[in-house]
Amino acid sequence: MGIGAAITKLDRNFGWSFLGFVLAVIFGALAVYSEFWKKTAPILEFELLSNTPVLDVREKLPDLEVLYQGEDIAKAGRTLSVMLCRVVNHGSANLLSAHYDNKAPIGIAVNGGTLIRAELSATSNPYLATAAAVRAHGSTVAFEPVILEPGEWFLVKLLVLHKAGSPPSLTAHGKIAGMHSIPIVLSVPTSDKESFWYRAFSGSTWTQLVRLVAYFLGAILCVAAVVIPFTAAAEKITTTRRKKFVARFRAVTKIALDPADEFIFSRYIDKGPQYVQRLANAVADSDRLQKRVEDYLAAKDGPQLDLLDLEQLYMNDRLSEESPVRMHRMRLRRDYYETGEMIRNMFIKKVNGRWAAVPDRLKVAAAFIDYIELLDATNV
């Protein structure tokens, strides 16, 4: 059974819309995720964008001197590096002044070198250009506590003197409410922010095709993961309930049941009460029954009727949503199939040249329909 047929069967068996149920599950899961799992808090990170030596002279030149406080740093085996550190809020909530602890101001410490200079280099908005500030004390740099919205940042440039061949490193200090520590992560600086649509559709044509196929297959798998278990569970529950109704009817009816009556009960269990009701309706009008059987017998061997797919076609299609032409064709297929079933299972037979219901079969079908209607079970 296909996914579409499974959804159709669920909609037919239950009063609620299965699509509405699936949407309720999806949005309910999103709500639960947002309420209990998704972290809605500021996440402050220090991103080390670069750690680049200013002096990178491969050969020593006798006439080249770089002095710091009167000392030639090259001859002393030392060099200068520029470190770029971006302070950014990667969380989903604003970082407010109340999140800072004045007793433990946030900042960074330079390890393995001497801090020469620290300055604010760039910001993501005009407010930070005036509000953000850095204060250097020895080898540590403290940052002014500022409000950082999600994704906002300011960039700090450090000039560090250190031993050649041993690049300096940074450690973070300070306290932000809700965070045990402030991480320092390596990152790649980007000059421009990439838009959502650029990230979604960037790449070659082949990349887009692969994404399209992958997303399509992923969507099918997700739908199947929801539909198939529900379909199996719904069919199991429905079949079990119908078997119970049949067992109760057998126990309470005073009609003498024949093995041929099993056709009525088995079709009720497999196809529902509507099928049994259609059997009774089909034999109610004698003239219409003659015409129906004659059409079936004339068409069953003809090229216009494919009996192999008959049951699958009419049981899985939602007739109410079909065009009038297709609805007519589907009803014909259904009538041909059910007419053949009635003949093969001795629900109808030919008497004195006319087709009619077998009285005992019709009596059982009518009594069973009354019974399940009495129990208000016509939708199971």
The DSSP result for 306-347, as a single string, is -GGGHHHHHHHS-GGGS-HHHHHHHHHHHHHHHHHHHHHTTS
pLDDT digits 0-9 by tens, 238-289: 889 999 999 999 999 999 999 999 999 999 998 888 888 988 998 989 999 9
Q: Which burial class, exposed, middle or buried, applies to 115 when counting CB atoms under 10 A from its CB (0-12, 13-18, 19+)?
A: buried
Same domain for 322 and 187: no
Q: What is the pTM of this model?
A: 0.45
CB 119 within 8 A of CB 136: no
Among residues 176, 193, 210, which one ends one of the domains? 193
Same domain for 131 and 261: no
Q: What are phi and psi of 363, to 5 degrees?
A: -65, -45
More confident residue, 231 or 360: 360
Two tokens, residue 294? 């004659």
Q: What are phi and psi of 143, to 5 degrees?
A: -105, 140
Same domain for 370 and 257: yes
Domain for residue 326, yes or no? yes
Domain for residue 34, yes or no? no
- Position 143 pLDDT exceeds 80: yes
Two tokens, residue 307? 């009996």
Same domain for 148 and 48: yes
Same domain for 175 and 51: yes
Neighbours of 9 (CB within 10 A): 19
| Vertex 36 angle, CA 30 and 38, to 5° | 65
Same domain for 296 and 162: no
Domain for residue 86, yes or no? yes
Looking at the 3D structure of the chain, how many domains does it have?
Answer: 2
pLDDT at 319: 42
Domain for residue 246, yes or no? no
3-state secondary structure of 77: coil
CB 184 within 8 A of CB 48: yes
Q: Which burial class, exposed, middle or buried, applies to 217 when counting CB atoms under 10 A from its CB (0-12, 13-18, 19+)?
A: exposed
Domain for residue 29, yes or no? no
What residue has token string 């041929």?
260
Among residues 193, 223, 244, which one ends one of the domains? 193
pLDDT at 169: 93
How much of the chain exceeds pLDDT 70, in percent?
A: 71
Mean pLDDT of 322-333: 63
Backbone conformation region of residue 223, classed left if phi is above 0, alpha if psi is from -120 to 50, else beta:
alpha
Same domain for 261 and 147: no
Same domain for 182 and 82: yes
Structural domain span for residue 109: 44-56+68-193
Same domain for 52 and 187: yes
Same domain for 257 and 189: no
What residue has token string 């009594």?
367
CA distances from 12 to 8, 26, 242 (A): 6, 22, 15
Which of 36-40, 85-89, 276-280 shows the lowest mean pLDDT across its residues? 36-40
- Position 329 pLDDT exceeds 90: no
CA distances from 359 to 147, 170, 255, 257, 356 (A): 86, 94, 12, 12, 9
- Position 305 pLDDT exceeds 50: no
Pairwise CA distance, residues 299 & 328, whole Å: 16
pLDDT at 333: 76
Helix 262-271 crosses helix 205-252 at what angle (to 10 degrees)?
Answer: 140
Pairwise CA distance, residues 152 & 95, whole Å: 10
CA distances from 93 to 42, 180, 192, 229, 248 (A): 5, 17, 23, 38, 61
Alpha helices, DSSP H only, in the chain? 3-13, 18-32, 126-131, 196-201, 205-252, 262-271, 273-282, 286-299, 310-316, 324-344, 359-374
Same domain for 343 and 271: yes
Domain for residue 124, yes or no? yes
Same domain for 262 and 168: no
Two tokens, residue 195? 């838009």
Pairwise CA distance, residues 364 & 374, whole Å: 15
Q: What CATH number is attached to the domain comprising 150?
A: 2.60.40
Domain for residue 150, yes or no? yes
Pairwise CA distance, residues 8 & 315, whole Å: 9
Confidence of residue 78 (pLDDT cuts 50, 70, 90): confident
Domain for residue 15, yes or no? no
Q: What are phi and psi of 285, to 5 degrees?
A: -105, 115
Mean pLDDT of 226-239: 82
Confidence of residue 39 (pLDDT cuts 50, 70, 90): low
- Position 172 pLDDT exceeds 90: yes
